[in-house]
Structure formats: structure tokens, C-alpha cells
Chains A and B, each alone.
Chain A
Amino acid sequence: MSEATPVLEGRNLTKYFWVRQGRSLFARRAPVHAVDNVSIQLDAKKVTAVVGESGAGKTTVARLLARIIRPDQGSVLLDGRPAPAGRPRSYARQVQMVFQDPFASLNPVHRIRHHLERPLKIHHLANGNADAVIGDLLRRVALKPAESFTSKFPHELSGGQRQRVAIARALAVKPRVLIADEPVSMLDVSIRLGVLNLLADLRDRENLAILYVTHDIASARYLADTIVVMYAGQLVEAAPSVSLTDNPAHPYTQLLLSAAPDPDRAQQPVLAGRGAPPSLLAPPSGCRFHPRCPYAMDVCKRKAPPSIAVGTDHIAACWLHVDPAERQASENGLVASESLEKERQKR
């Protein structure tokens, strides 16, 4: 999308989780197609949002990029170079993560100081003045006065304060990429914007590349520069956030938008594509959205759609946007495309 090398890039990421079917000793293990061939780029000073319903694979993408889990196929590139195997500390210094549940992401037995001190010690960043660095970190996430927080335990803090501590911990190593997995969904409504604004601030002031995983498309529109929509483990649409929400190209994105609460909406929305996401143990053939899609065609059942540019930096994986002739061609395979070629020559 942009010419510069992205800070962090996931290329054709695929991840299966193997689950035992039944609890028998010799039960067959079957793959859950959690993430299937997803490519995503995170640029410096940009927030990229991944939007989708639960089970869409958005958290898995976040964890693949954080290298908490390994992809079965595909690669993660840091500054255009393949990320080192495993998760060495050098990678941890570049890529940090913030988790969904601030009640679970801080260890209840340790004080706030411990949570911020450890990353500094691991990466030898404190140089003897840990207290000053910790104070600075807390101030950067707007926890003031910083001194009053360092000796507190997590349970003495409110949800929003805890999430800010979690962000401060991620910032401690001065990373270039921050992966935030649903960072506000567990927080009270009135304090969500505060955390989102903090993330926007970090992007602008510290040039962070941020991945914002969320199910709330309105907050993605608010915060993100680019929105990526996932459905059933696949990427279905990606675009600059305003153009995606104003002109959604994929039927699933349209469905998501029509379902989102929006009192400003002029009319009662009509849901096109009712139903639930498919089981990822046996995903539908072709386009995974086709069983629900109001515009489903024959080709959708048979072949996965290609990613098509539908506007500036706007791509959608949907046969609707493929030229009918080409659609026909790719469906009929080589023979058809040859005949198409002949036709063109005739003309």
C-alpha cells in the first residue's frame, strides 16, 4: 500500500489448530483453519485495525505477528527481513503486545513496579535509574502522579488504569510495533476513548506501528488509518478506514456495518446475510462467506475469490468485483481463458 518497507509484515500466514474430535484415546485430530493465507502490513506511524467477529482469526493473526505462536505456513518479516526463528529478545524489543483483559494481563501477586521493571532488566535498559524510567513510562500513559502507582497492586487499580499499565509495560522496551488485542473491549464505555486516544497519541508522538484488533468497527474507524476485515480465518477486505466504512466493497463488510449500533443511521438497517460464521473444522468451499452471501453466484461456491483492487489502496476478496468475463475465465480454467483470448483477438 505504501512504498516504504513496512515495519512488520505477515506474508501468507496460515495457522491450523489441531483438535481432538471426541475424547477417545485414538480420536482423530482435525485441523481448525484458524487463519488461512492472510497477509498484513504494519507501517510506522500508522494504526492498522483488524476487524471481525469472534472466531474470525483476528486474535490469532495478532499472536502470529507477536510470534507467540508459529505459523504453519507463511512468514513474518521485520523491516523486510524474515523474523528470527523462535522469539529471541531482539524481537521482543521491537514488537510488543497489549492484551484484552487488564484483569488477567497483570500478575496479581506483583506490584506495578515489578511489571515495568522486568522488561527494563531483561533488555538492560534501565542503567541504574529504573525508578526514573518507570516514572517516565507511567507519565507517558497518563498515570499521574507516577509515584503513587509504582507500589500498588493490580487489584487496587481500575480497569482503565490497569490497561494503561499494560501499555506502559509494552512501551518499556521502546518497541517499534505495538500489537493491541481488543485493548478496550473489557473496559467501561466511558473510559474506552481515553485508551484509544492514548494509542493514537503514541502513534503520532513515538512513530509506533500499531495493530489494533477489535470487533467494534466504529472504534476501528475512529482510531485506525487502515482497516482489515477478516471472516472465518480469511482476509476479505482492506482499505483506509474511512473509505472502507463509507464504501464497503465486500458483502460481509456491508453486513457488519449494517449490524453495528448506529443511532445516526437514517433508516432501520436491513441485514443481508443472516446466520453465523461457519465451523472452521470444515470451512465452506470457495468463498467462505458464500452460504450467507445474498449475492452468492456459482463461482463463489467453487473457487476462492482473488483479492481485487476496488479503489485507491482498497482491496476486496470478492467475485462481485471481478470482471464477469474474467470471472468466467478463471472459473472455466485455462481452456476458457484461451477462448477468451481468441475472442479478444477476433475483436
Chain B
Amino acid sequence: MTIDSTTLAPAPLAGPTPGFHRARALRLPRSPKVIIGLGIVGVFGVISVIGRWIEPYSPNATDTQNWVQHVLVPGTGGDTGFPASYYPLPLGPSAAHWLGTTVFAQDVWSQVLASTQATMFVGLVAAAIATVLSILFGVSAGYIGGGTDEGLSLVANVFLAIPGLPLLIVLADYVPSAGSSIVVVAAIIAITTWAYTARTLRAQTLSLRNRDFVEASRVSGEGSWRIILVEILPNLIPIVAASFLFTTLAAIAAYVALAFLGLAGAPTGSPPGLWNWGEMLREGFANNAVRGGWWWWWAPPGICVAVLGTGLALINFGIDEFINPRLRTAGLTAKAAKKAGIKTSTTLGVTPVIRSGPGGGERYAPSASRTREAAEPVLEIRGLSVDYGYGDEAVHAVRDCDLVLRRGRVLGLAGESGSGKTTLALAAIRLLRAPAVITAGEVLFHSKPFSGDAPGGTIDMLAAGPQQLRSVRWSEIAVVLQSSLSALNPVITIGAQFDDLLRVHRPHLSDEERWARAGELLDMVGINAERLRSHPHELSGGMRQRAMIAMALALEPQVVILDEPTTALDVVTQREILEELMGLRDRLGFAALFITHDLSLLVELADDIAVMYAGRLMERAPAASLFHAPRLPYTHGLLHCFPPMHGKRVPMEGIPGSPPDLRDLPSGCAFHPRCRWAMDRCKHDEPQLAAIDGSAREVACWLHRDGAQVPAELAMPDTRTTLREPVRQVIEP
């Protein structure tokens, strides 16, 4: 029930809430797409206003002076007895007529200018009517809910199902004034285009209505109207804006189509209609301009529609990216990556490594001598640094971290959200997505496969290519993420997801063998093998996470990375799954990197614990030592954030302040603003993780350096080697 740290990690670039922020709204016009879009729409807007004044000729006027090309009308002149009569030919673009003339010797450029106004007008008016309609429909359906919602939604769905243009044609055909009044045309177009927006707004309102801030307004006694107008509507602005532009685009297309069919009134007809782009296209088409090759006549209005539409769509792209930050991050990332010289497209699924200096290898001596037990390392992380973003915008999410996971042991990685624990673990197997970049360090995987045909020996994970990484991933290093619902592919069965895995990594198994193996694995975590045929949504949260664990163990990996595997589960399920997991660890002998924010849980199940804060490792110790004799003020504070389950109740302090913002870290030790023992030195110098003089304990804190006065709380005797001794009985009823 904590904030998912995996989604928060890239937060510096992609805001965690897709709501409407004024600060981000101001950023909207900066995207080149939006600027181009606004430019295009702006130019057409200006033309629609001043077009009538800057047109060089009247759009209806026949230019007899330049009427030079003409053909004899058949059946006149010569021997026919009729006086010779000439039929004009359209003129190509010239200085006098920039876009040539029509077959009636009218100036095309003037017609284009004159047409812009009506076309834009109909588009905007229709979109305005449709938007108002859809807000009324969508918001009331979404807010009132129940039967009203069902009724209104049905109406919208019916309108959505009836094809728009045919309905438009029939309506326009019967409404007599449609030919002359563009407001009527706009209204008719609005009727055929409002439903889509209404449906979108209804869905959004529905989700907003259930948001806590609406509930909170209601609890404080706010009236319904104010809730809709002041609390809900402002949050809909981006969607309303996007819908308005989309509807404008659709309305212009509909108007042009209608005019092309001759249903929007001809400028010279009775009653006269207005010049518009569709009418120009109709005249060109009706007078064989295509066959005659007179493209200058009908191409300009068509291109105008397409360009204006592109402009509107480009603005909409900007709004889309604003509503769905993932789309924007994609674009930004690609560009920034290019600037930094990284080819993101070729490194999909593999975090790029850009080391400015030499690898961290030489700087770090092997630390085997420092540990009490000589279990050999299986995953060694040395001096690893990870950035999100590139160049100046980079956020340093993990800085200079060393971590050694030993064969068959459980290493706990503790920290709050944003401390970089997930980033560190996923970077080690190079699974972080763009915009993450590994900027320094070394990750060595000492492989001794239990089975399978994966390679043995030491693998440099940061130098490995995609092929080598693929062969190591899952077969030797598997991952379990926090949310099993999103970690399992929702559209295929659990069995198929086992099958994909085994097919790739155990190619020698037959179909039946793979299925049987998958069944065995489910059985191992206490799930009936029948469940292979189930889809993820058919299982409970606990079952899904068990299935995920079974999948992680399917290839007998040497390392399992457990990223908050039980955080989303209830305590009883959590305890059950952890017990199973530890039992399997004893049986199968894999090493586990267990990541969690819950230090009290970690103390119970890890052999060793590393504590992270603001992207750095701050303390490493065996679990019992860390719990009974913390050396780091932060660890001490964190341990005192969990109220005890026994004994007298005493007031506890927690840690003052908030976890730091990675984009704006405090100078010196990042923890100093929250540290009760902070010294002057802590504000300027950043302490390095190193052994305390004369002991095996490692901590990054000035209190333990150069003979500083160590507070009693941080100098508890470190004598306990196990967490608990059997003293008390289990509670009996």
C-alpha cells in the first residue's frame, strides 16, 4: 500500500499525476510540434479574418482581360451558322493570378482566401456546439451516474454507431436552409460529431467523481454545482481542449465533404451560399478539372484542408503528450539521447552504459576479507551510478554504489521511495528503461549454473551484449516485481507465460514436457496446476504473486531480485508467501536481493542489509547487527519509525522533514537536514561508505570518522549474531 517506487523512479521526467498543472501547461507551447501547429492554425485564423480584404479580385469576378486561353464551343462558328462562341480554359499560375484561374476565369487565390472564413467558421461553431453538448451530456452522465448515466450513455453510443457522413447528408438534404445558413450547417455537423467527446468526458468525469478530492469537497459540505464547476471541470480542460480541436478537424472535414456533394449551397446559387474549400473542390471536380490536368484549381483548397487539419492535429499531439506523459517522455528521451550520442532504438530492453571515466574495477579492491563468512559472491556491483535523463537534465538516481550478493544468501536493500533501491537492482541486470543511463561502475555476475545450458564463469554485465544478457536473464537472474497484476501479461494464460519462457530457455523440452514442468512449478508454490489455464485477472493477488515467484524459479536461477514482492498484499498473505519463499531458498539455494521500504520486515528475513538514502548506500551490516546496533543516524531513525508490538507505549519521533528531491539534493551528506546529530562538516563534505576503524561495520557517516563524538544511540554493542533467541511461547488462545 505504499507508493510504487518503480513508477516514481523516473518521476523527474514524467510527472506522477497526469492531472492539470498550471506549471506544465505553460510548458505546452514549447514543444516544436505545438509551435508549428499553433503557427499553422494562426495563419489560417488571420486569413479567415482579413481574407476578404486582401483578396486581389472578387472570387466571383470573371477576369476578361486575362482571358487568353479559350476553345471554340462545339457547334458554333465556322460553317455552323452560329456566331463563334468561345469557352474559356483555366489559366495556370501567373503573376496576375498566383494560383491561376478557374474555368470561369475566376481568380483561384482570391477564392481560397474568401473560402477560409466560412470553412473556419463552420469548423469552430460546430466544434463549439458539439463541445457544449458533450460537456452537458458527458459531465451529467458521469457525475449523476446510475440510471441517468445508462440512459445518456446509450444515447451517445447510438449516435456513435450511426455513420456520421450519411446521417449528415440526409439531414442537410432535408433541412432547406442548410444551403444558405452556415450556422445551420454547423449545427447539423455538431449533431453528428458530439457523441465521441461526450463518451470521453463521461469516462473522465466518472473517474474524477470517485477521486478523493471530489469526495473531500462533498464531505466539507460543498454543493453539487460548485463541485462540478470548480472541482471537476478545471481538471477536464485538457481533454475538452483536445476534443474541441479534434471536433473542429472533424467538422471542417464534414463541411468540406458536404460542400463537395453540393449540399452546402453554391456561392452563385439561389439563395447564395458562401465560398468554401469544399465548394471550390466541387466546382473543379464537376468541371473536369482533374481530367483537364488543371490541378491549380482544385489542389489548393484540398491542401489547405490537409494543412489546417495537420496544424490542429499537431496541437492535439501536444495536449495528448500533456495528458499522457509517457508519450512525451518518449519523444524527449529520444532527442536527448541523440544529443548524448546514445542510440536508444538499438538498445531496447538493455540499459545503455556511458562511462566517462574508466570502469570502477580498479578503484575497488575485492572485499571478501571484510566479511565474516566467506560465502563466495555471485553478483558484485562496484561503484555503480545511474542517471535518468542525459546531459544537464540528468537526475542522478544512484551514485557510486557497491553491493555484493553472496551465493545462497538474502541481501536486503532498504530505503524510502526515491532512494534508488529499485534503480540500483534493475540497473545491475540492465533492465532499466530509457531515459536511464548507467554512467559508471562495474557489475560482475559470477555464474555457476545449477542446471540448463547457460554459460558459467564471470560475466561483465555492463559489457555484455543483448544476446549474452538474454541468455543470463531469468535463467540465472530472475525478477519478481511489486504488482503481480501488471507484471503478468493480462491477455494470455498463466500457462502460456510459462510456456514462452521455457520454449526460449529450454528448447529441448517438448510441448507436453513444458506444460508438465509449468504445472510442477505452480504446485511448488501451492497452486493447483489447473490454474495454468487461467488468465491473470482470474487469480487473487496472493495467487498471482505466487505464480510470479514460481515463474521466477522456473529455470533454477542463481539470483532472484525481489522488488517489494509483498508490499501490495495483506499481512497474512505476505507472511505466507515470505515463508514459502524462504523455504524455497533453503531448498533451491538461490541468492535473493530483497528490496523493500519495510525495514522491520527485512530485519526478520535478510542475512545482510544495505540501507540506501538519496541514491547512495549509507550502511551495510548483518541484519542482527543493524537491528540491535545501528551505526547510521538514518538507520537508527528508520528503525524507530516502526512502533513496537510489545511493551509499554512510548512516544516516538520518526524522522523530521521529508525525503529529499533528487533534482535538488542538499550539499554534503544528503541526510544532514534531517539528522539530529548533524555537524558542520556534514553540510559540506559527503561521507563515503567505509569500515569504521577497528570494526567490520561499514557506514557513510562523519560521526564515525576521525575521532568524532559518537552518540550513545549509535554505539550500542554489536554482539548479537542472530536476531532472536527462543524465549517466549507463541500466543495461544
Contact = CB atoms under 8 A, between A and B. Distances in A.
Direct contact of A and B (CB under 8 A): yes
Given A153-B21, A193-B654, A197-B654, A96 B733 contact: no
Contact of A245 (B20, B23, B216, B645): B645
A128 to B, nearest CB: 20
Nearest to A214: B1
A87 B601 CA distance: 42
A257 interface: yes
Nearest to B627: A263
A249 B725 CA distance: 26
A87 B216 CA distance: 13
A241 B644 CA distance: 13
Contacts of B604: 261-263, 265
B655 A118 contact: no
Most chain B CB within 10 A, of A155, A158, A254, is at: A155
B213 A218 contact: no
A266 B725 contact: yes
A188 interface: yes
A139 interface: no
Interface stretch (A1-9, A30-38, A104-112, A332-340): A104-112
B662 to A, nearest CB: 13
A107 B213 contact: yes
Contacts of B674: 190
Contacts of A270: 730
A239 B16 CA distance: 40
B320 interface: no
Contacts of B730: 258, 267, 269-270
B650 to A, nearest CB: 9
A66 interface: yes
Interface stretch (B96-104, B331-339, B574-582): B574-582
B219 A96 contact: yes
B267 to A, nearest CB: 46
Interface residues of A, number: 84
Contact of B416 (A68, A189, A221, A258): A189
Nearest to A295: B733
Given A251-B733, A264-B646, A194 B572 contact: no
Contact of B659 (A53, A153, A190, A273): A190
A23 interface: no
A260 B644 CA distance: 11
Contact of B217 (A118, A158, A182): A118
Nearest to B575: A259
Interface stretch (B191-199, B592-600, B682-690): B592-600
A68 B215 contact: yes
Given A189-B599, A266-B726, A271 B572 contact: yes
B641 A192 contact: yes
Contacts of B655: 190-191
Q: Binding site of B, secondary structure by majority: helix, strand, loop or mixed?
A: loop
Contacts of A295: 733
B219 A68 contact: yes
Contacts of A108: 17, 19-21, 235
B540 A119 contact: no
Contacts, number: 229
Contacts of A264: 644-646
A284 to B, nearest CB: 16
B228 interface: no
A269 B575 contact: yes
A271 B96 CA distance: 93
A119 to B, nearest CB: 4
A242 B726 CA distance: 23
A188 B1 CA distance: 11
Most chain A CB within 10 A, of B221, B235, B723, is at: B221
B2 interface: yes
Contacts of A123: 221
A160 to B, nearest CB: 6
Contacts of B15: 155
A166 interface: yes
A320 interface: yes
Contacts of A88: 221
A190 B641 contact: yes
A21 B638 CA distance: 46
A325 interface: no
A99 interface: yes
Given A108-B20, A266-B726, A185 B652 contact: no
Contacts of A10: none
Interface in B262-315: none
Interface in A151-194: 153, 155, 158-161, 166, 169-170, 172-173, 182, 185-186, 188-194
A97 B219 CA distance: 7
B677 interface: no
Interface in A86-142: 87-89, 92-93, 96-97, 99-101, 103-110, 118-119, 122-123
B94 interface: no
Interface string B632-655: 000001101111111001011111
A169 B219 CA distance: 11
Contacts of B1: 182, 185-186, 215
Nearest to B419: A188
B22 interface: yes
A267 B726 contact: yes
A296 B608 CA distance: 40
Contact of B573 (A87, A96, A153, A276): A276
Contacts of A257: 645, 731
Interface string B559-576: 000000000001111111
B576 A155 contact: no
Contacts of B643: 193, 218-219, 221-222
A186 B1 CA distance: 6
Contacts of A222: 643, 649, 652
Contact of B216 (A169, A190, A261): A169
Interface in A183-240: 185-186, 188-194, 197, 215, 217-219, 221-222
A71 interface: no
Most chain B CB within 10 A, of A118, A188, A189, A268, is at: A189
B218 A68 contact: yes
A266 B575 contact: no
B363 interface: no
A120 B202 CA distance: 31
A54 interface: yes
A325 to B, nearest CB: 19
B571 A259 contact: yes
A256 interface: yes
Nearest to A246: B646
Interface string A277-299: 00000000000000000010000
B265 to A, nearest CB: 43
Contact of A107 (B235, B659, B724): B235
A197 B728 contact: no
A217 B731 CA distance: 16
Contacts of A92: 219-221
B645 A118 contact: no
A274 interface: yes
Contacts of A197: 651-654
Contacts of A153: 21-23
A219 to B, nearest CB: 6
Contacts of B222: 118, 122
Given A188-B658, A261-B601, A295-B733, 4 more contacts: A92-B221, A188-B3, A257-B645, A263-B604
Interface of B: 1-3, 15-17, 19-23, 211-213, 215-222, 230-231, 234-235, 237, 416-417, 540, 542, 570-576, 579, 597-601, 603-604, 627, 637-638, 640-646, 649, 651-659, 674, 723-728, 730-731, 733
12 contacts: A92-B221, A93-B221, A103-B16, A107-B235, A108-B235, A153-B21, A158-B658, A172-B220, A190-B655, A191-B659, A194-B656, A217-B571
Top-10 shortest CB links A-B: A193-B654, A222-B643, A108-B19, A92-B221, A105-B212, A259-B575, A266-B728, A99-B212, A53-B570, A261-B601
